Amino acid sequence: MDYRTKEEQVADYLRERIISGVYPRGSRLKQAEIAEELKLSITPVREALKLLVAEGYVSGDSYRGARVVPFDPAASAEILNLRLLLEAQLVRGVVQNITSKDLEELHALGAEFAKAFADGDRAAARGVNYRFHRRMYDIANLPQTLHFVQILWARYPFDVINAAQNRGQDAVEEHNEILEALATGDAASAMIAMRKHIESGWTVLKSSALAATEDE
């Protein structure tokens, strides 16, 4: 059962679509269109956008329209270090709390991600990737830490990283390493696997930035 309010559910839906690149950086988010898509009234959509403005996912006036915040490359290195620190704490909490049912759900999401990547549906893969990490971190039961991590995610260029060639297959293998460590209850290995996963994406980002510079 989902105990989140409607605005929290809408906010999570929008976070996923922003991180996955369905809503590109700088694009306008129209309340009426979102409400129609979700078959909801304007009110929870408006309140969800206020949450996302506070977290840094979007900017602007939620009444007249909001835009997805552009990527700031200058902030990425600092955000990387903060992610490594806070997500390690979340992984530790996951190991302490995870159940066999939780593990089954994570394996299902991991398989869904792998299938989307194999099918060439990168947008779907990015969306599942968000749900995989969000579901995992929910298990930690550290809501304040997760809140700060979600703020960091708003400022991290997942769309650039996940668009890179071969990133999907690497991510599939890294997800499996994390799940194996969680299944054995090995907190140290799980934290190392997550660190490897985050740093691998960072390496892809730097390579993509270098390639773009060389092409100019």
Give Cα separations from 48 to 5, 54, 95 (angstroms). 10, 10, 31
Domain-wise residue ranges, the chain:
6-68, 73-215
Residues 6+ apart with CB under 8 A from 173: none
The structural architecture, per CATH, of the domain 73-215 is Up-down Bundle (1.20)
Residues 6+ apart with CB under 8 A from 103: 179, 182, 183
- 112-160 tens-digit pLDDT: 999 998 898 888 888 899 999 999 999 999 999 999 999 999 887 776 6
Residue 157, pLDDT score: 73
For the whole prediction, is pTM greater than 0.85? Answer: no
Residue 205, pLDDT score: 72
CATH topology of domain 6-68: Arc Repressor Mutant, subunit A (1.10.10)
**Residue with more model confidence, 110 or 69:** 110
